[in-house]
Structure 1
Amino acid sequence: MLRRLLIQDFVLVDRLELDFRTGFGALTGETGAGKSILLDALSLLLGERADGGMVRAGRERADLAAEFEPEAGAPVFAWLREQDFNIEDGLVLLRRVVDAGGRSRAYICGMPATATQLRELGDFLADIHGQHAHQALLRADAQRLLLDGHAGLLPAAREVAAAWRDWQAARRAREEAEKGMEALQQEREMLAHQVGELEKLAFEPAAWEETNAEQGRLANASNLIEGAGAALDAISDGEVPLAGEVERIAARLGELSGFDAALGEIAELVSEAAIRLDEAGHALRRYADRVDLDPARLAEVDARIDAVVSTARRYRVPPEGLPALLETSAARLASLAELADPAALLARESAAREAFMNRAGQLSAARRESAVRLAAGVTEAMQELAMAGGRFEIALQPEPEGSANGLERIEFLVAANPAQPLRPLGKVASGGELSRIGLAIQVITSESQSVPTLIFDEVDSGIGGRVAEIVGRRLRELGQGRQVLCVTHLPQVAAQADWQWRVAKDSSSGETRSELIELDEAGRIEEIARMLGGVNITETTRSHAAELLGLA
């Protein structure tokens, strides 16, 4: 249930901190005092879209927070764990900050969150029935969603929609293949040639580097042989070999170091140089023996390089991109092989259609069962709401080929009195009748929901008198099993509440702000008297108000 709500700099609210109770609570006040601000704040905390106009005039930001305490083991805790949100003391903490520019930040249990996560979490915590919920019931999609939600069929409906999309995709693939069979065949032939050529080329990046290096050596073999020979002559094989000269210099310096020790270190350095020159001579001799002119091998390597480069140029990729091109071309060729097979495409489409029909058939059966129960409950409620003899039914109009919504259209039918035939809800219900029928539907569907907090925002508009008293009683009954909060302008409804708050507008400080006052017994009598009598409240009005509360 909702335990605490903090509102700061939101619309007309300066700062408001509220502690909620269990049972049925009524929120009343004069028109324009800001009764719906409380519910607007809760809606924002539960994921509704933020707007800079929500920030109190002259302030930089609005700051909202709510504390919910679900029952132990409630499904919301599993959702929080899946989303990696911290849970402390069994409380769920929500916060939303909106700046004057319309940007907002959301937090769940102190951790940053998205508006989508707030909406998903809100489905576990509270259900808000807004002022225009009755009008929404006139839409076919709203009627379908209400039935599926009441029966717990929303996951099944999503699976049916996914199966429908799979079927339609398979159907489009078959139709496109039939229309473009010639073009597909041409593409297949082109890709088959391309894949064959690339596979025959057998390009490998590592081998490509080695081939280029080998080509460099073979193409410059004569220069390499000549250069290596000249170096060998200078070092070892010439008339005055450099290695021998360095050895003699080292020996001479060694002799002189006997007269001056400082030359000893230099002699060692020159001696090491002589050794290095000797080693270089041996290495050059081995290299010269190995290097040879091989025109045939050079031609072979040049041909390989030309084949790779020309193939890459033809397909407009660098040589290193040839393996990726082969992979994508082979994958496309495999997919075209399936598309070019009418029997395979037809089998795939048939399997997808069968899967849709199976899921949709199961959904239809569950909808029919739930529709009977929901219609009976609403019909019973209509009798109490001054519509004696009225009937409510839910028709499942068949759609043999189906749609993303299943194998039927959902349509709410109503007869406001025994003399009327059943007709679509929007065609027979007057404004008052629509309000009562809508309220009956909301109350019945709310009874079957597991959401711990139910909020009604002036859904009792268009009714009064005995009907209003009945509505109040139904809300009070709902409050026995969960937390119910109702914004109302009807004294008969407010009198049934377990607790009551009054919203008032204060302009004494030069700023207009909304204030919320928790009413004791005397305060409730005064407020309900105001709701009954308007401007001039008499003792008779107060007596009537006290009577209403006593009856409640």
Structure 2
Amino acid sequence: MLRELAIRDIILIEALDLSFGAGLSVLTGETGAGKSILLDSLGLALGGRAVDGLVRAGAERGSVAARFDLIPDHPARALLDEQGINVEGDELVLRRSVAADGRTRAFVNDEPVSIGLLRRVGETLVEIHGQHSEVGLLDPATHGPLLDIFAGATGTVAEVAAAHAAARVARDQAEAARRAVAEAGREEDYIRHALAELDKLAPESGEEAGLAERRLFLQGAEKTAEAVREALEQVEGSGHSVAQRLRLAARSVGRVAPRAAGHLDAALAALSTAGDAIAEVESALAAAGRALDFDDRELERVEERLFALRAAARKHGCAVDDLAQKRDALRRQLDLIESGEGALKAAEAAEAAATARYVEIADGLSRLRVKAAAKLDKAVMAELKPLRLGTAVFATTIERLAEPDWGPGGIDRIRFEVATNPGSPAGPLAKIASGGELARFMLALNLALARRGGAPVLVFDEIDRGIGGATAAAVGERLARLSEKFQVLVVTHSPQVAARGAMHLTVAKSARGKALPKVEVTSLDRAARREEIARMLAGASITDQARAAAESLLAGERV
């Protein structure tokens, strides 16, 4: 509920503090008194567009602050919580400041916010209806949710949203499976050919380094073998080998050593050691020679293998050591092609089941909407006749959307349409109805929707324009009835409407000398209300008859 509105230096308002109560508050005053300035100021605090010339002449900055009492589960709390703004207690203050150069700043509970966020919060708090209204019921996007609340179908709407999300997930998974199979299928011939080549090649991790090392060895093996042969020839000699000569020498010394009194023992031992060493040399050189005795084609085979591996690596754009992994990846791709059809069929079956589930629930919601639309149309039509719109037609149109346009809100496009003249086609509220008609349509619709869960504050700007007598009285009665569930503020020129207010404010413009005129707002007591309503009935010259008529209106009597 709107509790206070504080305005500073806006157009003709220097400083104004207004307090509001529950129920119906009426604002009256002569044409041009400044009532529109109050509504423009409220709209500014709610995030409305800031036009040029808002700041009072001579002031550097103007501001408007609106204080609301907020119930615990009001949607504004969740909206602000998403932005990291915690609303403690039950007070919410929206404030907008405007500099003389047109720049504006927005605040919620003194925390700076974007104008967009201020507007979104404002839309949850107040709906302004009138000849310049551009929010609330005029937006076709609100018509579906309003009909769903009227139908008591909010639970079904939540089920539809959940089913839509599940269907979208299933669709994305099926599409991913289709893309994977299609992509793999386009390369199937290449994959099979490349995999066959790699299977034949049978690459192994670390194989390149071993082959390169073997190749280097084989490239120098021939010279190494020649050196070994030359060494053996030197050791073996052309006649007796060194080992044989040492053995002969040892035999000769050994025959005479017993008679040499030990002088030949050292020589005999050295000859024995040298013989053993030479024998080991001969054995080692012979073994090396046998090891170096390789097939002349081995080098060719090693080089062919190495070159084949490196060529395959270049072809597949990877390192030689990664060829084995590449082969495994190709095999997995081929497995996907061969087994992917089954996975794709399963994904498509899941997609079809999820979509069918969504359509089933959405169709049920659509049927609820059709039934509720008939009841809503009937309820609104019942309100139109006493509002002097007896020849008008209100219709809720429900159109099935094309499948690509289905969404979390269902499969319907819902619009409130009106036809104000007999025989004329129905069309959107904002385009068909005039300003006064539009306000009365809004009133009738709000009465029919009753506690629809929208903004708790409704503002009607001259809803009684162009009407009087019984029609104005009917408007007043319906505004009073609406104010039992909402806080209602109405700018009116109708005494029948003004008399219904629980609170009556009068707006006047005062001028002193050459100074700028100022807008002043006065809260009226019972006696002052009678005088104001009498002025509205009689004009500038208030008669006793006008006062008596005003008293009758205040007493609830028809005049």
TM-score by length of 2: 0.61
State the Cα distance separating 1:369 from its structure 2 match: 4.0
Question: Match of 2:473?
Answer: 469
Name the CA distance, whole Å, in 1 between partners of 2:93 and 2:395: 41
Question: Match of 2:278?
Answer: none
The C-alpha deviation readout for 1:355-395, integer Å capped at 9, x for no partner, is 44134224313323432442332133234334569875534
Residues paired across the two proteins, number: 446
Question: Match of 1:70?
Answer: 70
Residue type of the partner of 1:108?
Answer: V
Q: 2:448 aligns with which of 418, 423, 444?
A: 444
Residue 21 of structure 1 pairs with residue 21 of structure 2:
yes
Question: Match of 1:59?
Answer: 59
Name the CA distance, whole Å, in 2 between partners of 1:537 and 1:105: 46
Question: Match of 1:505?
Answer: 509
State the Cα distance separating 1:493 from its structure 2 match: 0.8
Whether contact under 8 Å (2:60, 2:100) holds in the other structure is yes
Question: Match of 2:256?
Answer: none
Question: Match of 2:36?
Answer: 36
Residue type of the partner of 1:358?
Answer: E
Residue type of the partner of 1:121?
Answer: V
Name the CA distance, whole Å, in 1 between partners of 2:417 and 2:317: 68
Name the CA distance, whole Å, in 2 between partners of 1:45 and 1:505: 22
Question: Match of 2:530?
Answer: 525
State the Cα distance separating 1:180 from its structure 2 match: 13
Whether contact under 8 Å (1:386, 1:467) holds in the other structure is yes
Whether contact under 8 Å (1:504, 1:515) holds in the other structure is yes
State the Cα distance separating 1:73 from its structure 2 match: 6.2
| Change beyond 3 A, Cα 1:493–1:195 | farther
Name the CA distance, whole Å, in 2 between partners of 1:166 and 1:188: 33
Residue pairs, 1:20-419, within 5 angstroms = 20-51=20-51, 53-71=53-71, 84-132=84-132, 143-144=143-144, 146-148=146-148, 150-151=150-151, 185-186=185-186, 343=345, 346-347=348-349, 350-351=352-353, 353-386=355-388, 392-398=394-400, 401=403, 403-404=405-406, 406-410=410-414, 412=416
Name the CA distance, whole Å, in 1 between partners of 2:186 and 2:195: 14
| Change beyond 3 A, Cα 1:87–1:393 | closer
Residue 549 of structure 1 pairs with residue 554 of structure 2:
yes
Return 46-55 or 176-185, whichever deviates more: 176-185
Name the CA distance, whole Å, in 2 between partners of 1:530 and 1:193: 99
The C-alpha deviation readout for 1:473-512, integer Å capped at 9, x for no partner, is 1212232344221112222111111111122233435324
| Change beyond 3 A, Cα 1:434–1:122 | closer
Return 423-432 or 406-415, whichever deviates more: 423-432
Residue type of the partner of 1:385?
Answer: L
Residue 492 of structure 1 pairs with residue 496 of structure 2:
yes
Whether contact under 8 Å (1:368, 1:396) holds in the other structure is yes
Question: Match of 1:515?
Answer: 520
State the Cα distance separating 1:471 from its structure 2 match: 1.1
% identity of equivalent residues: 38
Question: Match of 2:255?
Answer: none
State the Cα distance separating 1:71 from its structure 2 match: 4.1
Name the CA distance, whole Å, in 1 between partners of 2:340 and 2:66: 56
Name the CA distance, whole Å, in 2 between partners of 1:135 and 1:533: 36
Name the CA distance, whole Å, in 2 between partners of 1:192 and 1:495: 90
State the Cα distance separating 1:15 from its structure 2 match: 1.8
Residue type of the partner of 1:499?
Answer: M
SS of 1:551's equivalent in the other structure is coil
Unpaired runs of at least 5, structure 2 = 210-302, 319-328
The C-alpha deviation readout for 1:99-153, integer Å capped at 9, x for no partner, is 3444433222232333444344335533333435599978865644542464576
Name the CA distance, whole Å, in 2 between partners of 1:391 and 1:407: 25
Residue type of the partner of 1:516?
Answer: V
State the Cα distance separating 1:457 from its structure 2 match: 2.2
State the Cα distance separating 1:95 from its structure 2 match: 1.9
TM-score by length of 1: 0.61
Name the CA distance, whole Å, in 1 between partners of 2:395 and 2:501: 31
| Change beyond 3 A, Cα 1:85–1:134 | closer
Residue type of the partner of 1:458?
Answer: E
Question: Match of 1:233?
Answer: none
| Change beyond 3 A, Cα 1:61–1:439 | same
Residue type of the partner of 2:29?
Answer: G
State the Cα distance separating 1:551 from its structure 2 match: 2.8
| Change beyond 3 A, Cα 1:182–1:77 | closer
SS of 2:411's equivalent in the other structure is strand
| Change beyond 3 A, Cα 1:349–1:384 | same
Name the CA distance, whole Å, in 1 between partners of 2:474 and 2:119: 32
Whether contact under 8 Å (2:30, 2:508) holds in the other structure is yes
| Change beyond 3 A, Cα 1:395–1:74 | closer
| Change beyond 3 A, Cα 1:513–1:339 | farther
| Change beyond 3 A, Cα 1:457–1:447 | farther
State the Cα distance separating 1:514 from its structure 2 match: 2.5
Whether contact under 8 Å (2:420, 2:433) holds in the other structure is no
Q: 1:479 aligns with which of 483, 493, 496?
A: 483
| Change beyond 3 A, Cα 1:178–1:60 | same
Name the CA distance, whole Å, in 1 between partners of 2:142 and 2:444: 16
State the Cα distance separating 1:185 from its structure 2 match: 4.9
The C-alpha deviation readout for 1:424-464, integer Å capped at 9, x for no partner, is 36699875766544431133224443643222222333432
RMSD between aligned residues: 5.6
Return 109-118 or 393-402, whichever deviates more: 393-402
User: Which structure has the larger Rg over C-alpha atoms?
Assistant: 2
Name the CA distance, whole Å, in 1 between partners of 2:138 and 2:126: 23
Unpaired runs of at least 5, structure 1 = 204-210, 212-299, 316-326
| Change beyond 3 A, Cα 1:426–1:177 | same
| Change beyond 3 A, Cα 1:387–1:176 | same
